[in-house]
Structure 1
Amino acid sequence: MTGGSPADDAALALLLEVAGTPKPGNVDRHRDLADLRFESFLAGAVGAREGLERAARGAAVGHAFERAVAGMADRAGTNTQFGCLLLLVPLLRATRTGDLSPDGLDRVTRATTVDDAVAFYRAFDRVDVAVGDPPEDATALDVRRGADTEPVLRERGLTLRDVMATSASAGDGLDRVPDRNAQEWVEGFPRTFRAAEWILADEGPLTDRAARAFLGLLGTEPDTLVATAHGPAAAREASAEARAVVSGADPTTDADPTTPPDGTPSDGTPPDADAVHGIDLDAAESLAASFLERGINPGTTADLTCAALYVALRRGAETSEAGASRNGSEAEP
């Protein structure tokens, strides 16, 4: 089996991400949320295809992203994969340049323009996106203002990367969880590439590998969407519960947001690949039920998982059989 086009792999990454299970707190092929269903995500992936294709052909990042969001919203009728698309579009542009790497992503994001930022803000007029309040010194750049922010962006000459840099900051000592997707934009996508390596080195169906990578990511850092909906303390607690699953401990008794179980990483330190590959997905089912009951939805972690799946697919991950991979000479760097 040979690899698909970049747009094919981006669409497949969207589908594989939502099909992976259990991904505690998120929609997957076994679980719906009260206001989101599994098939809505399938529709969103189909609707986003035109925007993904434009990114793969080299269209401006902001334009391609806005088109992908518009298509997603039109087909799904709601916001299903806004954050996934925010990561996939620059990944597709880096693929277009032949350098799907941290340095390649850094060049893509640094090349964004004010027009890209304007298009990004316009995308917020298409769907409802759960976001927190901006820092006090950035209220004029609140994404909830949508297209109305254009005059400010143009007056200040802010590129899309500039906007992401503002969101990526944790604030001056404030108790807040930074935007992990924005951090990817300004740091060279380190979480994406790390999780892609976990997926590539793992065995079994890609959906299972994605579910394990999701837990590894969540156990490393608190999720932005959880912090937005429930506060930073709840986000840290959810991350500690995921760390307990990664370590093989009981998340209901051994999860401590300040002192992880023995053998698990401290907050911000990723587990090694062996720990991720050893995650017992059956044991994660209880955490999935608990998160669902409490309304804990680590959506930003799902975005990162989707991005990692795209990189893994471009580097040789196969869906044809468990543990299969393309010939190394066919995989991209």
Structure 2
Amino acid sequence: MGNANVSRGEHARAAFLRACRLDVETMKPGNVSIGSAGHGMTSAQFIASAGAAAAGLFTPGARVGARILDAVRRTFDAVGCNTNLGIVLLAAPLCAALESMEPDDSVDASRWHAQTQRVLADLDIDDARLAYRAIALANPGGLGDAPEQPVHAPPTVTLRAAMSLAADRDSIARQYENGFADIFGAGLDAAGAISSATEHRAMLDAFLTFLCGWPDSHIVRKLGASVAQSVTRDAAMHRADWRAAGRPAQFAALDAWDTGLKARGINPGTSADLAVATLFVALMARAASSSNA
């Protein structure tokens, strides 16, 4: 039993780190990548952040709130800025759910999704307190400023209830409300049957799917709903053109769009966070399937 848990934990950590690396290896318009820095950040900071955060996210037996706070603290110790709060908020329940599955359970998306929903249902006020401290430490512009349950005041409800209050304006909070339906639904559908040859295309497809599905929360907070809606419309056009071209690894129109978005200070960060969480699930499910074969 112990060996099964260790093996699963190792696979999960590797899948998370690979998903985070794909985040910057893949040129996603408006986001920081190895080939295109932006928004005052570099890909090296994101890679270092992933390694630092993993130590907190995969702490055995830790509750979701503790995983979030530990991961954010470690990230700040490593890079001194907020590079991955959204990823951490999404990954923590996924990691807790994975750890709580029985060692003999196969890790497929359906079982993982069901267990994630159980973890979300079990969140309490202590989880909210710790997550609030993490959000306040990360200090993302506009996130947590709300008339009800603001992060700079002690929470009086569970973490899931607090997130539900923000679900209509924040896509990451919505995952806590809807049981990660977007990750296990539209995200995995876009990623498809992932292989080592298709990882980057899967990341880009998931990202564009989220970006054209609804206005990016980070853009809304920074630049307003009108700008975010225009980016969503452009994303739908670019995704259609890219898919029609056969989902090529290089696509000049996306490169040009990336340059234009960064010139205007537009960063679809929430869509990227959702894509990373999706690839974490897809890569882990693939690894588990291979180990059981």
TM-score, structure 1 normalization = 0.76
Structure 2 residue identity aligned to 1:201 = A
Of 260, 263, 271, the residue aligned with 1:301 is 271
Structure-1 residue corresponding to 2:160: 161
Structure-2 residue corresponding to 1:128: 139
Structure-2 residue corresponding to 1:196: 188
The CA RMSD over aligned residues, in Å, is 2.3
Of 23, 29, 44, the residue aligned with 1:17 is 23
CA contact (8 A) 2:32 2:39 kept: no
CA contact (8 A) 1:20 1:207 kept: yes
Compare relative contact order (CA 8 Å, sep 6+) and give the higher one, 1 or 2: 2
Pair 1:227–1:301, CA change in 2 (3 A): same
CA contact (8 A) 1:198 1:277 kept: no
1:113-134 superposed Cα distances (whole Å, 9 cap, x missing partner)? 1111000111134223122574
How many residues are paired up?
274
Structure-1 residue corresponding to 2:57: 52
Answer yes or no: is 1:219 the counterpart of 2:218.
no
CA contact (8 A) 2:26 2:203 kept: yes
Structure-2 residue corresponding to 1:43: 48
Alpha-carbon distance between aligned partners in 1 of 2:13 and 2:209, rounded to the nearest angstrom: 26
Structure-2 residue corresponding to 1:228: 221
Alpha-carbon distance between aligned partners in 2 of 1:247 and 1:68, rounded to the nearest angstrom: 36
Q: Pick the structure with more helix per residue.
A: 2
* Mapping for residues 27-176 of structure 1, pairs under 5 Å: 27-54=32-59, 57-98=60-101, 100-132=111-143, 134-136=145-147, 138=148, 141-143=149-151, 145=152, 149-150=153-154, 153=155, 156=156, 158-168=157-167, 170=168
The alpha carbon displacement at 1:276 in A equals: 8.8
Structure 2 residue identity aligned to 1:327 = S
Alpha-carbon distance between aligned partners in 2 of 1:86 and 1:277, rounded to the nearest angstrom: 34
Pair 1:197–1:289, CA change in 2 (3 A): same
Sequence identity percentage: 28
1:229-262 superposed Cα distances (whole Å, 9 cap, x missing partner)? 110111110011010011218xxxxxxxxxxxxx
The alpha carbon displacement at 1:316 in A equals: 0.5
CA contact (8 A) 1:131 1:228 kept: yes
Higher mean C-alpha displacement, 76-85 vs 118-127:
118-127
CA contact (8 A) 1:41 1:80 kept: yes
TM-score, structure 2 normalization = 0.86
Structure 1 residue identity aligned to 2:75 = M
Tell me the SS of whatever aligns to 2:139. Answer: coil
Structure-2 residue corresponding to 1:258: none
Tell me the SS of whatever aligns to 1:80. Answer: coil
The alpha carbon displacement at 1:328 in A equals: 8.3
CA contact (8 A) 1:212 1:276 kept: no
Stretches of structure 1 lacking an aligned partner (at least 5 in a row):
171-177, 250-274, 318-324
Alpha-carbon distance between aligned partners in 1 of 2:55 and 2:46, rounded to the nearest angstrom: 16
Higher mean C-alpha displacement, 182-191 vs 279-288:
279-288
